[in-house]
Structure 1
């Protein structure tokens, strides 16, 4: 109800200004209000971690970990922050974030704007939140694609001790050539180096932190199969399907549809869910799929689980529906299945 009252004000602001205002408000709420708790549901064990419910926050909303405690008050079963890069970077020029309210969509070309991994680490250390925290890592825009693995390894080294799991983002359309890393040979090299680093860090810290790969929805069947094979071969712990799409098939004629960037929200639901189903079949239960993309209500959240996902993540749907969407999705995905992977 409170969000219904606040939404007209937020939507009267430029989309990125509204985003910044929301984060600042959540930051204050996290510091002055009692610590938040996940909404009650049947717990589920995934990747060796115990999730209090199946509904998480997707990366992108809190890139620097500035509002972790405020976000925790929404009832999520887990939070994912980032994408973070080794060095700070401003991202692409503004404006770079656009609402498509007619179709409950968002287009962004943010470009991994963030304050750098050291600031994120400091923010995580300062947070009171002790729930499941994913940290999403990427490469700096000016790092040559041939040296991208160096950036991922640098971030992994710094966040490992603080993360419940680490997500490797190779699927944003807003960093030049990044999606090349989804290619068969590039992915094989990257995953091999990350897995070796994970094993070293597990020995060093005395704890195993799962590695998760985040992929795009704009993949054909052969590409999905190749990615699934690489995930199994390198014993990666999970996969997030999906990031934003570069397709505009679902938003033809809609204002801002011509803007460059990744499209998220309801228009990506079908393509994203199709990738989830293909991955589930290709992986045959060997590792879990976390579904993100187009979850705007209980039905769409439930559809992700019906496609075989173990967990779901929200982002764009929150812009249109507010915090009430979290509880709606928790109820829709609370099926008592317990341990899944």
Structure 2
């Protein structure tokens, strides 16, 4: 069905098409349609169950931050068969984000470029909505810095959002790697990063993860992983979108500024999962170019406990989680694994 609708959807601006899909899911999650979606799209098999950072996941395939910025449809996304949903990025202040157009399809490359700029309703609006949500899978909260907050006050900004969303989140992600907020990536340096993370740790117990940029050089990645290890964080997300543009890109939209996601960064993101896994024992969430079972499996074998996707929802449609999970079962059986947990990190020396 999605293949029939996709040509019409792709005539619309990407953000408009996203809004229509979002609205349809928002309506569906409060009707019996959600039960039908769950029955048809959820792969219920104990071999897919896994645990990471204190959470139990029915399967390893999740929705990355950015798809549901305001925590309006986490239950509907769970009904599509995803094993977890990450909402946000949420900021302390309500933000309109960057001017439109700010999202671009690179159809020739199965990719997106976005420069959204953390557009969201703010922590005071998202927090209560999230607390009231009835979701059958773990829900993560991706926390970003408000654009107007000076870098030297970032820890208080992150803390404000954390405190107002804590009641509804199962885990929390410190996002200092989005390319679309001026200066944000400077917070990946050790001193400001430690300041932010220790502030959140001191605020109370909750699984806390750090999201890394794929554009960091190896020394910077090692330094960030050292911080995670030294502070005893609960996990790492590898990776965010990339500001780099591979020479292989064919779409004319490759010149647009913002973060690149989708197929062109798949290999690079998987390599970062491996690089991180070789340097830490904390659970890793693998993100970047996941669109099929083979891609998800590659990240799992190189160290990811769970994976996330966003761009694949645009190109593959609402059956993508089911398709990946069914394919993962075939791959696990082929390679003699009794569970997805057995396959995590088997390719890491």
Which 10-residue stretch deviates more, 302-311 or 170-179? 302-311
Q: C-alpha deviations, 1:278-314, integer Å up to 9, x for none?
A: 000011x2x0110000012221111111211110001
Change (3 A) 1:250 1:57: farther
Contact 2:107–2:251 (Cα < 8 Å) also in 1: no
Q: How many angstroms apart in 2 are the aligned matches of 1:296 and 1:12?
A: 22
Contact 2:249–2:264 (Cα < 8 Å) also in 1: no
Contact 2:43–2:326 (Cα < 8 Å) also in 1: no
Contact 2:292–2:320 (Cα < 8 Å) also in 1: yes
Q: 1:249-260 to 2 correspondence within 5 Å?
A: 249-260=246-257
Moved over 6 A (4+): none
Change (3 A) 1:28 1:312: same
Task: Quote how far apart the aligned CAs of 1:130 are.
Answer: 3.5
Q: How many angstroms apart in 2 are the aligned matches of 1:3 and 1:278?
A: 36
Q: How many angstroms apart in 1 are the aligned matches of 2:227 and 2:267?
A: 24
Q: Using structure 2 for the length normalisation, give the TM-score.
A: 0.90
Query: Who is 1:331 aligned against?
Result: 326
**Aligned-partner SS, 1:327:** helix
Task: Quote how far apart the aligned CAs of 1:10 are.
Answer: 1.1
Query: Who is 1:142 aligned against?
Result: 148
Q: How many angstroms apart in 1 are the aligned matches of 2:195 and 2:232?
A: 13
**Aligned-partner SS, 1:190:** helix
Contact 1:301–1:332 (Cα < 8 Å) also in 2: no
Q: C-alpha deviations, 1:68-124, integer Å up to 9, x for none?
A: 222121011111110011111100000000000101010000000001112212322
Q: How many angstroms apart in 2 are the aligned matches of 1:337 and 1:3?
A: 29
Contact 2:294–2:328 (Cα < 8 Å) also in 1: no
1:111 lines up with 2:117 in the alignment: yes
Q: 1:1-341 to 2 correspondence within 5 Å?
A: 2-32=1-31, 33-35=33-35, 36=38, 38-41=42-45, 42=47, 43-197=49-203, 201-202=204-205, 209-283=206-280, 285=281, 287-334=282-329, 335=332, 336-338=339-341
Unaligned 5+ runs, structure 2: 333-338
Contact 1:27–1:68 (Cα < 8 Å) also in 2: no
Q: Using structure 1 for the length normalisation, give the TM-score.
A: 0.92
Which 10-residue stretch deviates more, 100-109 or 35-44? 35-44
Contact 1:56–1:311 (Cα < 8 Å) also in 2: yes
Task: Quote how far apart the aligned CAs of 1:255 are.
Answer: 1.0
Unaligned 5+ runs, structure 1: 203-208
